Structure 1
Amino acid sequence: MNRRRLLQSFATAALSPAACTQRQHRPPAPYATCSQLAEQLEAAQTTPLLLVEHFLSRITQLDKSGPRISSVIELNPAAKDIAAHAPPGLLHGLPILIKDNIETADTMHTTAGSLALRNRPPESDAPLVSRLRAAGAVILGKTNLSEWANIRSPKSTSGWSARGGLTRNPHKLTHSASGSSSGSAAAVAAGLAPAAIGTETNGSIVSPASACGIVGFKPTVGLISGAGIIPITHHQDTAGPMTLTVSDAALLMQVLAADFTADLKSDALKGARLGVIREYSGTHPQVLALFDAALQKLREAGAIIIDPVKLPTLRKAGSLAWRAMLIELRQDLNAYLEQRGGDVRTLAELIAFNEAHRDTEMPHFAQEFFIQSEKLGTPEIIAAGEVARAEARRLAGPEGIDAALREHRLDALICPTNDPVGLIDLAHGDSNDRVASTPAAVAGYPHLTVPLGLVDGLPIGFSFMGTAHADARILALGHAFEEITKARRAPEFREE
């Protein structure tokens, strides 16, 4: 068997642990969803412990060896014990991976991929982690990420961190998994867990989710508590689910925030008014061909397509938000580091740490954004940042997305989420392929990406964006879209 065939066999075989010998027990199907695993648990066809052993086996064979996705930065040594005593709940016995910038009060670290935070573990769970545990989830481990959530340098390589190394795309190992929730996306895509939690400031959920061919949901900012998450800016930061299906994303949202599962109906597209934002759709001919074919399926499902819809204020909004974010980074990160304690307690100390550990922290790219942000701490600059932030939110929200929705009486805005990701290039950084994330990110509004198809073997996503707290409607539209397209494909772990 050649190497490529061997890797594909790992991806498609149910890697049953040796312990699964009883007749009533059976290993999960390849790429089983949370809902499918819950049904299997309910029917006593498996146990939480067997599920944990199954996914640990996959991590060993696919993440730590074989194709070496390198998406899991650390495993939870207590996972088996937790599984054996998992409390009842919506997520009873389901293994979940957590991005390494979300605090867990256990033996695992929370470092944002940086060596600077290794020696000071958090003292408490982030509220979202507490909710997952209370619902019966088993925290299987932490996922790698673009270090400091990709805010360190304009020349960074997504998916790389000093602590976790480089996460690769399961569909093509030579290509980027995108960032910053690269590990969460790659792990779910590779079937290393049925779900993971990522975080987004601008694109860090929807970009890697679309690039790795899974569902990613960025909820309305504030819907999920941001406490216990290493920050960039509280104006845009949010956690969100990364899953194989929209219904699984809604299930996790039910635990993390509110019950959105009741609105998941197969006929949700009938009569829905969807506006195409062509200016964010790019020019890639194969991507646009996939997108236009999907539009036809939407029409056949009863949706009304308005094409195009203009968002003329959003480029200025994005520029203002970036200016504000560099100022807010220093403020929010300083507050977090001081509260966390440890070796570094300010951004200035973090910059000095990176310089002192240049060989391990900065072998591929530097920290230009950190240095720039550290200079933006005067009262006058902070005041100017507050003005820029307010204008950015207004232009992106009330005068941007909301104005377009109102003018055309729309339920959501749509576009292809991404163009195919580029080759990994540690020497030069990311290729900055198109991702449609800024409108919803700056406004703080919900954004869902659902698999659309493949271009040259690389996944493309389909985006739904809505107004503030339209999360239930956006998930319902995405669920119905997913049912009529069924576009998700298992990765092939190709090396070319």
Structure 2
Amino acid sequence: MINKEPRTPGQLPPLMHLTIEYASRGLESGRFTSVALTKAYLARITEASEFRAVLQVNPNALDVAPAIGQGADPPLHGIPLLVKDNVVTQEELDASAGSYALLGAKPGVESSVIAKLREAGVLLLGKTNLSERANLRGLNVSSGWSPRGDQTLGAYYPGSQPDGSSASSAVAAALTLCTAAIGTETVGSILAPAERNNVVGFKPSRGLIANDGAIPVSSRQDVIDTLTRTVKDAAYLVSTMAGRSERDEGTWDIPFQQIPDFTEFCNGTDLSGVTIGVPRNTFDSDPTSPIMWLTIPTFLQPRGSSSSTIRSGVSCDPPEFRRDIGRYLKTLKINPHNIQSAEDIIGFTKTSPEEEYPERDIGKFLWTQAEGIDRFYCGEGGILGAMEKHNLDVLVIPSTLGISNDLAAKMGFPVLGAQLGFHPKGTPIELDEDKPHLVQVAPGIPYSLTFISKAFSEGVLLRVAYAFEQLSAVRDNGPLPFKLPATELKDVEK
């Protein structure tokens, strides 16, 4: 079983193994305080500044820590979280999507998800860097780069690609700069960085969590989601974050009256009655396939698995950006650069020296004019068709297979990435073709499995992913990040 809690009397847990569950127990028992947690994380953020994962620290964090969570119920009260810089928080923290164009801009209200987390007693530790505008900037702009935050680097190899627009949230979680982190995904922005930084990325069904207050790319696909060290931690967060919002009509069709406690699905490893599909024809050329074929039968097949096929052939196409960003900009009460439209953002990007144009292009901005969603591959020729044809509960696919992310995102399906393994010693180093030529493949860099289920079937998805995590124990048995901050709870409790 993963992440065993230290049992030596008086021993404070190492932060690398401090899950939400264990942190909540420690806070409730008085073993340590939210103030101590906050001090330790702030020190670690400073020590890990070379990774450029954190864009802004909450200047009031230590002032509010003594009272945070009073009157709130466990497990989230007093838990410090970092939040991606495209999720709106009022007062102390900006929400700029990494761009100078929206720096200082403020809607009238903050994200309803942030309001729920505050009500649950979460301490907002700060904002993470991100790929500018959630990776909707240019074709030669590297993941994890923004003009405000510079280039975030991966946690498992020097100078490595952190991958995905939520890269910095994943790196922050991997380096234990917080207990957990909040990100967003349109397509792949959670799964990709979770894979490369050895954390759990969980994107629930579109509509289970309100995305109002998140600077939009695509209202049809945008989801606020989680980056944690365990599957159960993801379940804790989503249980609090989920629910209807008057400001997001996508949440009005949630099919149950009361949000489940999703942690109830993270209990044991018995998968009796669950049918798991392994779509072979999508990833025979994937370098992690041999390990996947050895791993899945060992841990999951005895508990009920099946095999099916799935077509490939589409990529993410966010034509809604111009419409959705226009709607968001109309909500701003403060707008220092008078940004009114997608065209204004493009113009600002091309004329502001801080945005580094034309060295970093705007190809993805222009790409948002494209239409043409391939309905066939989102239906009978894709994930849904495979699941219905073979009566599947869950599909399991290598996270490196981007097409699975694309299809699941277009269908609004929940996906979860969990650790599968690490590239072994002697793996040839591969660099990105584009500047700054970050390391893409190297010894010790992690890779993952993606679990996919139908919309609003998070329960069975978590059940399977939790069982795999517990039985495989990949995180506990694998390498640590190549460089970790030094500060621990014992250092601030003196």
Under TM normalisation by the shorter chain, which class is it?
0.7 to 0.9
Q: Which residues in structure 2 correspond to 1:115-130 (within 5 Å)?
A: 115-130=100-115
Residue 52 of structure 2 corresponds to 70
Among 110, 121, 134, the alignment partner of 2:95 is 110
Give the distance between the partners of 1:204 and 1:280, measured in 2 at CA. Answer: 20
1:32 is aligned to: 18
Distance in 2 between residues matched to 1:300 and 1:225, nearest whole Å: 35
How many angstroms apart in 2 are the aligned matches of 1:280 and 1:439? 12
Q: Does 1:465 align with 2:433?
A: no
Q: Deviations over 1:407-447 (max 9, x none)?
A: 2121111111127xxxxxxxxxxxxxx57411211111000
Listed as ranges, the gaps of 5+ residues in structure 1 are 1-22, 420-433
What is the correspondence of 1:348-367 to structure 2 with a 5 Å cutoff? 348-358=343-353, 360-362=355-357, 364-367=359-362
Using the TM superposition, give the Cα deviation of residue 61 of structure 1 relative to its aligned residue in structure 2, in angstroms: 1.1
> Does 1:370 pair with 2:356?
no
Q: Deviations over 1:159-206 (max 9, x none)?
A: 000001111111012210101001100000111112111110110011
What fraction of aligned residue pairs are identical, expressed as a percent? 33
Aligned to 1:86: 68
In structure 2, the partner of 1:48 is 34
CA–CA separation in structure 2 for the residues paired with 1:29 and 1:494? 14
Q: Which residue of 1 aligns with 2:304?
A: 303
Task: Note the C-alpha offset of 1:120.
Answer: 1.8
Structure with more helix by fraction: 1
Residue 406 of structure 1: how far off its partner (Å): 2.0
Q: 1:398 to 1:248 in 2, by over 3 A?
A: farther
Which of 476, 480, 493 matches 1:491?
480
Match of 1:403 among 373, 385, 392: 385
CA shift digits 1:33-88 (9 cap, x unpaired): 111111111111001111101111111112x2xxx111111000111122111122
SS at 1:140 equivalent: strand
d(CA) in 2 for partners of 1:358, 1:158 = 20
Q: Distance in 2 between matches of 1:200 and 1:226?
A: 10
2:124 paired with 1:139: yes
Map residues 70-469 of structure 1 onto 2, 5 A cutoff.
70-87=52-69, 88-89=72-73, 90-257=75-242, 258=259, 259-281=261-283, 283-285=285-287, 287-299=288-300, 301-306=302-307, 309-312=308-311, 314-315=312-313, 318-319=314-315, 322=317, 325-326=318-319, 328-340=320-332, 342=335, 343=337, 344-358=339-353, 360-362=355-357, 364-373=359-368, 376=369, 385=371, 388-389=372-373, 392=375, 395-397=377-379, 400-418=382-400, 436-455=404-423, 456-469=443-456
How many angstroms apart in 2 are the aligned matches of 1:125 and 1:297? 46
- Alignment CA distance shift 1:364-1:195 (3 Å): farther
Cα distance in 2 for partners of 1:480, 1:32 equals: 20
Q: Which of these residues, 482, 489, 495, is aligned with residue 469 of structure 2? A: 482
Please tell me the residue identity of whatever aligns with 1:278.
R
Mapped partners of 2:367, 2:389: distance in 1: 40
* Deviation for aligned residue 1:361: 3.7
Q: CA RMSD in A?
A: 2.2
What is the rounded CA distance, in whole Å, between the counterparts of 2:10 and 2:198 in structure 1? 33
| CA displacement 1:76-109 (0-9 Å, x = unmatched) | 0111122111122230100011000000002211
- Bigger shift: 146-155 or 296-305? 296-305
TM-score by length of 1: 0.82
One-letter amino acid matched to 1:330 = R
Deviation at 1:290, TM superposition (A): 2.0
User: Does the CA-based 8 Å contact 2:147-2:354 persist in structure 1?
Assistant: no
Q: Deviation digits for residues 290-343 of structure 1, max 9, x if unmatched?
A: 21221122246523232xx2223x52xx35x51xx23x1111111112222511
Code of the aligned partner of 1:264:
C
In structure 2, the CA distance between the partners of 1:364 and 1:469, relative to structure 1 (3 Å rule), is same
Residues 417, 463 of structure 1: 8 Å contact kept:
yes
Number of paired residues?
432
Q: State the 1:27 CA deviation.
A: 5.8
Contact map agreement 2:97 2:215 (CA 8 A) in 1: yes
Structure 2 alignment gaps of length 5 or more: 1-8, 243-258, 424-442, 485-494
Q: Is the 8 A contact 2:191 2:399 kept in 1?
A: yes
**Cα shift at 1:492:** 3.0
Say if 1:190 and 1:494 are closer, same or farther in 2 by CA, change over 3 A. closer
User: Residues 484 and 24 of structure 1: is their aligned pair in 2 closer, same or farther, counting only changes over 3 Å?
Assistant: closer
Alignment partners' CA distance in 2, 1:205 and 1:300: 27
Distance 1:235 1:125 in 2: 20
**Counterparts of 2:184 and 2:466, CA distance in 1:** 21
Shift of 1:28: 4.4
